[in-house]
Chains A and B, each alone.
Chain A
Amino acid sequence: MAHPDLWPETPHEGPEDLELWEEGPPREPGAGPRAEGPPAAGEVRLTLKIRRYNPAVRPDAWWDEFAVNMHPTDRLLDALHEVKWFHDGTLALRRSCAHGVCGSDAMLIDGRNALACKVLVKDVAPKVTVEPIRGLRVIKDLVVDMEPFFEGYKRVLPFLINDEDPPDRERLQTPQERERYDDTTKCILCAACTTSCPIFWGDGEYIGPAAIVNAHRFVFDSRDRGARDRLDILADRTGVFRCRTTFNCTEACPRGIKVTKAIQEVKRAIMFDRL
């Protein structure tokens, strides 16, 4: 169960009392109006309140609103595309696969981290608030600097370590051994968990849940021999013991990974092996 009080109004850079910039930045001829006409049969009207940031046009962040007509089963990503392609081409966001597996489009949607391609319009209409994920520097609009996130990932040695001579064919691994680390193979590196973590927001040094999940994926793989190195890395002051078990990460994970459980398993591995 999540602890809503641990989702504070937060550590974005810039002032928190943003204003709605009614007319928005100067726009080119050809851009659509900020609100479309009434929805056609079978459509619903969705108002998107988007937290914008573009230092080239305005030093601080601002709120922008667009009303678009969508099918109820369209994705929120489709609605953001509608805005970008037909109303305001300056809107910046990342996306690729559009069905929840590439990890590009994690955003803060109505105050919770989620992938825009896995949220349906019918579940958020008539109005939805969209912001960039927290705790990482905003580059523009919904695009944040992912480098610190990937640095944390890289630190846990996220690749199979095994210097023994392999057999001629594949190494054997039973379905039970395969099952042991199955949950943490599902991480898509979207950063929804890490950027939902209050410890990560408040402390730039915490390696964050995603990195720990990826360490877990190898620590519990029967083929791997690098557990000791990874556990050493995670036992230090930037590692697992900073976790305060708030479960935000587990709730935020769009792949349903039991993130907090994985973190606990890594903590236990460190304690039983080392302490």
Chain B
Amino acid sequence: MGGGAAGLRAAIAAAEASDGLDIALVSKVYPMRSHTVSAEGGAGAALGPDDSLDLHAFDTIRGSDYLADQHAVEAFVAEGPGEIVQTERWGCPWSREPDGRLAVRAFGGMSVNRTAFAADKTGFHLLHTLFQTSLKYERIVRLDEFFVTSLLLEDGRCVGVAAIDMRDSEVRCITAKAVILCTGGIGRVFSFTTNAAINTGDGMALAYRAGVPLKDMEFVQYHPTGLPGTGILMTEASQGEGGYLVNNEGRRFLEDYIPSKMELGPRDILSRAIIEEIEKGHAFEGPYGHYVHLDIRHLGEKTIDKRLPFVRELATKFVGIDPVHEPIPVRPVVHYMMGGIDTDEVGRTRLPGLYAAGEAACVSINGANRLGSNSLTECLVFGRRVGRLAAQDALVAAAPSENPVVRLAEAEQERLVASYLEKETGTERVAAVRRDLQAAMERGAGVFRTEESLKQAVEEVGELRERYADLSLDDRERAFNTELVAALELGNMLDVAETIVRSGLDRRESRGSHTRRDYPDRDDDRFLAHSLAFASAEGPRIEYGDVTITRWPPEERKY
């Protein structure tokens, strides 16, 4: 499920694993519309002669504030370079060094240049390369614009999914010996986000409702540099190429926060620094709130056009500022979910037959804070791992029985008709409930959090659930009913939002992106642990699981 980088990589891996499998790539949008397309800066992997796997692993673990599982990180860094080379063989138009090798650039939190890139549209090129490659395999059958509404369960196994074909809103039942969720993140649960409109946490909600815990959901990454208003991302490659962050005194304020790394510090630290500058009155103010400046003028027009053409295009188009001549207004913006569906290091969940990878999953290699450019590589490495594993398992799994599955699909169709299409009561609009959810999350679970703000958010999300029950759709027809899809997405968002605020409330410490003003320190005695949110009748039940430490014992996170 899902046609972004992880889903496509998994499908290709499964197709290569065996000729004997039928593979369906199910996606609510055409695959090249997936949010991977928006990734700009690059894909991190220890490719260069001055780099090493251990160095990449250590940077990732330190960046994670020691919440990453180190055996998973070791596998990740070891397989990263091979995956980048693999996509090169499939034709990805990577940027090159003068001698023809893959070029690498600097990125936040990485101690050497290790981010391979394709100008500043790396995700776009990677996604198209994977999509193109998937076309070579006839075994991969695409079900484009199918929205998955529930997992089909039988005798404690996942045996497929129920999905509506958006063309006619009919529930189709897709049986499977293995189901892989690669449905991406949940940025849309906040009002100000870099995420595409489609990032509504659908796969996370499906797994959660089926009894699989969501892990580390309190860790939401704010990217330091989004355009005010739209939230459009100004890639961290801007800083990698030498850009400055400047406050309203014209000063590179990061010298007060992270002088050793400055603009190349990790995202959680930079985002906090910008919010603090705003609070100190050191920021600019515009129609869309406070902001600081990202200044890349000194790089010169030639470098900007070569290395950061998209930054120039976006700033010029959407805020009317040409970064060759003026600094770009930026502020922290919700960007990435470190948490997700609890999986092991090959993508297996606790529910037999169900797997996950990419941003939807939480392995975890990202812990409490992901380093920029690790996510594309994560999609490749774990997409391949999970595709191979699911293929192997599917070859020996028993076929799901027809009858229960058909019954489940019928029940699902009846539910959709009764709850949405032919529901006679209700006064709430999808957009009103969604807007209030996003505002509540922004207020309660932003860059800085407190007991009070999180409790308030828990309460508000609870109230929004009641309003959700009172939803009424304008569109009652079957053909391409995007309002029905939006309503189903909102249901998913509410489920996932609740796990974010509940996990955040219970984690009474500050670690990585989760910053509690009332608990400013990291507390390894109590919280060097993954939170696990289980669905229950009373809302999320939070438990904790062990973090795997192999060679890097937790120490103070210093830069």
Residues of A in contact with B (beta carbons under 8 Å apart): 27-31, 42, 54-57, 71, 73, 75, 84-86, 88-90, 92-104, 118, 120, 139-141, 143, 146, 150, 154, 158-160, 162, 166, 169-175, 177-178, 181-182, 185-186, 188-189, 218, 221, 223-224
- Least Cβ–Cβ distance between A201 and chain B, in angstroms: 22
Nearest opposing residue in chain B for A160, CB measure:
B91
Residues of A within 8 A of B34 (CB): 96, 102
- Residue among A56, A96, A99, A224 making CB contact with B230, cutoff 8 Å: A99
- Residue among A71, A96, A171, A173 making CB contact with B196, cutoff 8 Å: A96
**B428, A99: Cβ atoms closer than 8 Å:** no
**A55, B479: Cβ atoms closer than 8 Å:** yes
Given contacts A28-B472, A88-B474, A97-B196, 20 further A-B contacts (CB under 8 A): A55-B479, A90-B474, A93-B482, A94-B33, A97-B33, A98-B197, A100-B317, A101-B38, A103-B33, A159-B91, A159-B132, A160-B89, A160-B91, A173-B100, A174-B99, A174-B100, A175-B97, A182-B93, A185-B125, A188-B124
**A221, B477: Cβ atoms closer than 8 Å:** no
- Least Cβ–Cβ distance between B198 and chain A, in angstroms: 5
**B429, A89: Cβ atoms closer than 8 Å:** yes
Interchain CA distance A42-B196 in the complex, whole Å: 26
Nearest 7 interchain pairs by C-beta:
A160-B91, A89-B474, A172-B100, A85-B431, A159-B132, A56-B477, A89-B483
**B477, A57: Cβ atoms closer than 8 Å:** yes
B430 within 8 A of A: yes
- In B82-128, which residues have CB < 8 Å from any A CB? 84-85, 88-91, 93-102, 118, 121, 124-125, 128
Q: Can you list 12 A-B contacts with CB-CB less than 8 angstroms, sorted by A residue number?
A: A28-B474, A30-B474, A92-B481, A96-B33, A96-B34, A100-B314, A101-B124, A159-B90, A170-B88, A170-B89, A175-B95, A189-B30
Nearest opposing residue in chain B for A166, CB measure:
B89
Residues of A within 8 A of B98 (CB): 174-175
B153 within 8 A of A: no
> Which of B118, B310, B474, B476 has its CB near the most chain A CB atoms (within 10 A)?
B474
- Residue among B132, B196, B477, B481 making CB contact with A158, cutoff 8 Å: B132
B232 within 8 A of A: yes
- Least Cβ–Cβ distance between A46 and chain B, in angstroms: 17
Supposing A99-B38, A101-B121, A101-B124 touch, asked if A92 and B480 sit within 8 A by C-beta, the answer is yes
**B95, A178: Cβ atoms closer than 8 Å:** yes
Supposing A97-B35, A154-B135, A166-B89 touch, asked if A89 and B196 sit within 8 A by C-beta, the answer is no
Residues of A within 8 A of B273 (CB): none
**A218, B91: Cβ atoms closer than 8 Å:** yes
Residues of A within 8 A of B94 (CB): 170
Interchain CA distance A99-B37 in the complex, whole Å: 11
B456 within 8 A of A: no
Give the interface SS of chain A, mostly helix, strand, loop or mixed. loop
- Residue among B85, B319, B429 making CB contact with A30, cutoff 8 Å: B429
Supposing A85-B429, A89-B429, A224-B91 touch, asked if A96 and B474 sit within 8 A by C-beta, the answer is no
Supposing A99-B232, A103-B33 touch, asked if A185 and B167 sit within 8 A by C-beta, the answer is no
Nearest opposing residue in chain B for A56, CB measure:
B477
B475 within 8 A of A: yes
Interchain CA distance A56-B196 in the complex, whole Å: 30
B52 within 8 A of A: no
Residues of B within 8 A of A140 (CB): 479-480
- Least Cβ–Cβ distance between A229 and chain B, in angstroms: 13
Nearest opposing residue in chain A for B434, CB measure:
A85
Supposing A102-B37, A188-B32 touch, asked if A28 and B319 sit within 8 A by C-beta, the answer is no
Supposing A29-B472, A172-B99 touch, asked if A95 and B197 sit within 8 A by C-beta, the answer is yes
Nearest opposing residue in chain A for B320, CB measure:
A73
Nearest opposing residue in chain A for B102, CB measure:
A170
- Residue among A30, A57, A103 making CB contact with B32, cutoff 8 Å: A103
Interchain CA distance A90-B169 in the complex, whole Å: 14
Interchain CA distance A75-B319 in the complex, whole Å: 11
Interchain CA distance A27-B472 in the complex, whole Å: 11
Residues of B within 8 A of A95 (CB): 197
Interchain CA distance A158-B136 in the complex, whole Å: 9
Residues of A within 8 A of B313 (CB): 100
> Which of B124, B198, B430, B482 has its CB near the most chain A CB atoms (within 10 A)?
B482
- Residue among B91, B124, B318, B474 making CB contact with A73, cutoff 8 Å: B318
